[in-house]
């Protein structure tokens, strides 16, 4: 067949081309990065089929069809007069059918996720997004007036084909014959006719080399610009550590992540057992928004003997370490492994387990420097905390947790379990914690009054996941992790008081019968709203609080559970009253004088609803506000008279 056929691009490609051509995107040079990585992929693929067919051929003693002595490389030639830039590779090439399939439709990763992101962002100019995604081959039309692709597949019977398009909606394909066919060797040659505006920018060899070094430095094949090699940096992860400078690491890191800042930390490993692998990993200074836009943008690049097998493999590292970026290279996998086989691969699982342990012990070392670790914690703890489900590394994980606490002077200060333990009181066998929206809220939390009185430190939890962490760990060393809210006052009673400032400390409680009568009255007034009314041993400055009758669940955890089961009812709790508090003392004597005193009823309801409000369960504040206003009206009347 020598006839030339014309095809229309699919609609999405037209859309993509239109965006690329008309966007004001300044980094147009990235088209070179895209074409070079396509060429490199094509060389990788050739290497894989060669390796596979060689081993197959070795088995049956046949000569390999793909054997070719020419070194695998990528060549870039510029011609200022002809206004062309040519990129060629002697990789796997494409058959006519593959050409139509690969360049005419958009089933490919880079471009389709680009379009998707563009739609989600609602941005029609695409500027912010182009650099973050491989927009693939089509990005060439940012600088090209017209492009021709000449390609010959590695298959023995393949005919070379030529594809030409000006990127306006259609392309033509013809099979090459005669001398043209003879000149086309295995691989792909892309000739770009540059738009006049870009001729100067993309035809100087030195400039081109610079662009290659910026974006494609670690490509595993030589990239020759005008015959001179532009990429000189080797696959760093396979080099001995002592030979690598900090600058080289940084360069590799920014190549990998497009982050031009230095990494917070670098982890370069060479492991022999239980699996062989090299890894070069980094912890970035800034965390990505893993919950939002970049949700899927994590994982480690998997290489087998320097050949890229898969980018962002998510089985190589546990999800709670998704902030780690880098590459893993193993000799223990075959080159031609398919993505499906990778998915449930024992070897990959072993690498995952080994890496997880290594990252944790690396973090433990980092934690010796409090400031460096605080920086890590500030950025990455939200992701890291999900590691509470990693039972195999529970100890190491727990050792790396940090919290603010009642002993901290500032909100930024961080405390580890071990520091907490080192300050614990004699006989204190528990690590206490409390959940709250802020330090201020926790400082005013009635449940923590006894802790202040006894000088017992309480860890502050500000994120819901913290409670899941505590719930899953349950213990650290021989210390039980215990919510302050459900702590038994008896456990703390024997400790000497350190805070004797509270006004109640000096007061005596009313006589028992008067108290019992008051409790009974409260119960009658509040009815089913509470399970019990009793004296509190945990309060010093507050008149009352609510306690969970099971003595285990915290109100914040209770809320999460109710939210998950769509339960909007208010839980019934024990109401504890502080007998030494002025309000309670006064109410007891009022109640003793007149067991039907309406003020006691008003006060009981008010105290109960205030406690509900503090616990976050008060759904309708109207009654409470009305009552407060009524009390204010009365008290302001008395106050005016007294003045």
Q: Where do contacts with ligand ADP occur on this chain (CB under 6 A)?
A: 34, 38-39, 42, 89, 91-94, 102-103, 108-111, 134, 136-137, 188
- The alpha carbon torsion through 615, 619, 623, 626 (nearest 10 deg) reads 80
Read out DSSP for 256-318?
HH---SPPSEEEEEEE-SSS-EEEEEEE-SS---TTTTTTT---EEEEETTEEEEEEETTSS-
Give the residue from 290, 345, 288 showing the smallest Cα distance to 319. 290
Residue whose CB is less far from ligand ADP, 91 or 510: 91
Q: Find the shortest distance in angstroms from Cβ 298 to ligand ADP.
A: 19
Considering the complex, what minimum distance in angstroms separates the CB of residue 79 from ligand ADP? 20
CB of 169 to ligand ADP, least distance (A): 17
Q: How far is the CB of 117 from ligand ADP (least distance, A)?
A: 14
- For 515-540, b/e burial (b = at least 16 CB within 10 A) is bebbbebbbebbeebbeebbbbebbb
Q: Residue written as tokens 């080289």?
A: 248
Nearer to ligand ADP, 41 or 294 (CB): 41
Question: Which residue's structure tokens are 């990429």?
Answer: 231
The minimum distance between CB 136 and ligand ADP, in angstroms, equals 3
Contacts of 3 (CB under 8 A, 6+ apart): 174
**455: CB partners within 8 A, 6+ apart:** 425, 495, 498, 499
Residue with smaller CB distance to ligand ADP, 113 or 531: 113
Helix (H) or strand (E) holding 556: helix 555-564
For residues 34 and 558, which CB has a smaller minimum distance to ligand ADP in the complex? 34
User: Whose CB is nearest to ligand ADP?
Assistant: 136
Of 169 and 274, nearer to ligand ADP (C-beta) is 169
Phi, psi of 90 (to 5 degrees): -105, 50
- 441 CB-contact burial (10 Å; exposed 0-12 / middle 13-18 / buried 19+): middle
CB of 226: closest distance to ligand ADP in angstroms?
19
**Measured torsion, CA atoms of residues 8, 13, 16, 18, in degrees rounded to the nearest 10:** 0
Element (H, E) at 328: strand 325-330
Shortest Cβ distance from residue 134 to ligand ADP (Å)?
Answer: 5
Helix (H, G, I), strand (E, B) or coil at 228: strand
Residue 50 C-beta: closest distance to ligand ADP, Å: 15
Shortest distance in whole angstroms from residue 151 CB to ligand ADP: 6
Name which of 76 and 484 has its Cβ closer to ligand ADP. Answer: 76
Decide whether 91 or 318 has the Cβ nearer to ligand ADP: 91
Identity of the residue, 34 or 162, whose beta carbon is nearer to ligand ADP in the bound complex: 34
φ, ψ of residue 481 in degrees (nearest 5):
-85, 115
Nearest to 445 by CA among 471, 501, 409, 483: 483
Whole-angstrom distance, CA of residue 34 vs CA of residue 94: 17
Nearer to ligand ADP, 30 or 199 (CB): 30
User: Contact, 439 vs 460, CB < 8 A?
Assistant: yes
State which residue, 141 or 435, has the beta carbon closest to ligand ADP. Answer: 141
Shortest reach from residue 39's CB to ligand ADP, in Å: 5
Sign of CA dihedral 465, 471, 475, 479: positive
In the sheet with 404-405, reading across from the earlier edge strand, the strands are 404-405, 459-461, 430-435, 479-483, 475-476
Rounded to the nearest whole angstrom, what is the least distance from the CB of residue 110 to ligand ADP in the complex? 3
* 250 in Cβ contact with 268 (< 8 Å): no
User: Sheet containing 300-304: which strands, arranged edge to edge?
Assistant: 265-271, 277-283, 325-330, 300-304, 307-313
Instruction: Supply the minimum distance, in Å, between the C-beta of residue 336 and ligand ADP.
Output: 16
117/441 with CB nearer ligand ADP: 117
Residue nearer to ligand ADP on the CB measure, 94 or 333 = 94
């Amino acid at each position: 067949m020598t006839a030339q056929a014309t095809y229309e691009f699919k609609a999405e490609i037209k859309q993509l081309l239109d965006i690329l051509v008309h966007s004001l995107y300044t980094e147009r040079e990235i088209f070179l990065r895209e074409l070079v990585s396509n060429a490199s992929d094509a060389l990788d693929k050739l290497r894989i089929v060669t390796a596979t067919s060689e081993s197959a051929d070795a088995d049956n003693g046949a000569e390999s069809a793909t054997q070719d002595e020419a070194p695998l490389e990528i060549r870039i030639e510029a011609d200022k007069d002809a206004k062309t830039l040519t990129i060629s590779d002697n990789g796997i090439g494409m058959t006519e059918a593959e050409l139509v399939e690969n360049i005419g439709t958009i089933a490919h990763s880079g471009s389709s996720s680009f379009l998707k992101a563009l739609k989600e962002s609602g941005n029609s100019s695409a500027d912010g997004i182009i650099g973050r995604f491989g927009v693939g081959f089509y990005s060439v039309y940012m600088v090209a007036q017209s492009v021709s692709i000449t390609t010959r597949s590695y298959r023995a019977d393949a005919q070379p084909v030529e594809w030409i398009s000006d990127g306006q909606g259609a392309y033509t394909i013809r099979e090459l014959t005669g001398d043209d066919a003879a000149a086309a060797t295995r691989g792909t040659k892309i000739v770009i006719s540059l738009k006049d505006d870009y001729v100067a920018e993309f035809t100087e060899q030195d400039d081109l080399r610079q662009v290659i070094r910026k974006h494609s430095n670690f490509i595993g094949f030589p990239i020759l610009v005008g015959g001179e090699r532009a990429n000189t940096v080797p696959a760093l992860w396979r080099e001995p550590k002592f030979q690598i400078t900090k600058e080289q690491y940084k360069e590799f890191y920014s190549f990998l992540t497009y982050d031009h800042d230095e990494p917070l930390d670098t982890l370069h490993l060479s492991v022999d057992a239980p699996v062989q692998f090299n890894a070069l990993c980094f912890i970035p200074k800034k965390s990505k928004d893993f919950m939002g836009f970049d949700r899927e943008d994590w994982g480690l690049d998997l290489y087998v003997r320097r050949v890229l097998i898969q980018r962002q493999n998510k089985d190589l590292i546990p999800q709670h370490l998704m902030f780690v970026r880098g590459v893993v290279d193993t000799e223990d996998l075959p080159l031609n492994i398919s993505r499906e086989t990778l998915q449930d691969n024992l070897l990959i699982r072993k690498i995952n387990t080994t890496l997880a342990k290594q990252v944790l012990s690396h973090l433990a070392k980092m934690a010796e420097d409090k400031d460096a670790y605080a920086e890590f914690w500030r950025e990455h703890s939200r992701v890291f905390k999900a590691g509470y489900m990693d039972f195999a590394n529970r100890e190491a994980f727990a050792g790396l947790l940090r919290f603010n606490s009642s002993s901290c002077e500032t909100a930024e200060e961080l405390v580890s379990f071990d520091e907490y333990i080192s300050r614990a009181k004699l006989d204190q066998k528990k690590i206490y914690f409390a959940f709250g929206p802020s330090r201020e809220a926790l400082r005013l939390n009635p449940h923590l009054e006894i802790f202040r009185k006894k000088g017992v430190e309480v860890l502050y939890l500000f994120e819901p996941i913290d409670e899941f962490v505590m719930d899953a760990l349950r213990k650290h060393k021989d210390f039980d992790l215990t919510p302050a809210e459900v702590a038994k006052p008896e456990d703390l009673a024997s400790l000497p008081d350190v805070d004797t400032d509270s006004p109640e400390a000096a007061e005596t409680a009313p006589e028992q019968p008067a108290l019992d009568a008051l409790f009974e009255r409260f119960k009658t007034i509040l009815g089913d709203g509470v399970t019990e009314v009793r004296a509190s041993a945990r309060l010093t400055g507050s008149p009352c609080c609510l306690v969970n009758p099971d003595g285990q669940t915290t109100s914040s955890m209770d809320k999460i559970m109710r939210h998950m089961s769509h339960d909007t009812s208010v839980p019934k709790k024990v109401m504890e009253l502080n007998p030494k508090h002025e309000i309670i003392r006064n109410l007891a004597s009022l109640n003793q004088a007149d067991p039907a005193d309406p003020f006691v009823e008003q006060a009981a309801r008010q105290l109960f609803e205030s406690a509900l409000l503090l616990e976050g369960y008060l759904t309708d504040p109207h009654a409470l506000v009305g009552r407060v206003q009524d009390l204010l009206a009365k008290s302001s009347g008395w106050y005016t008279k007294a003045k």
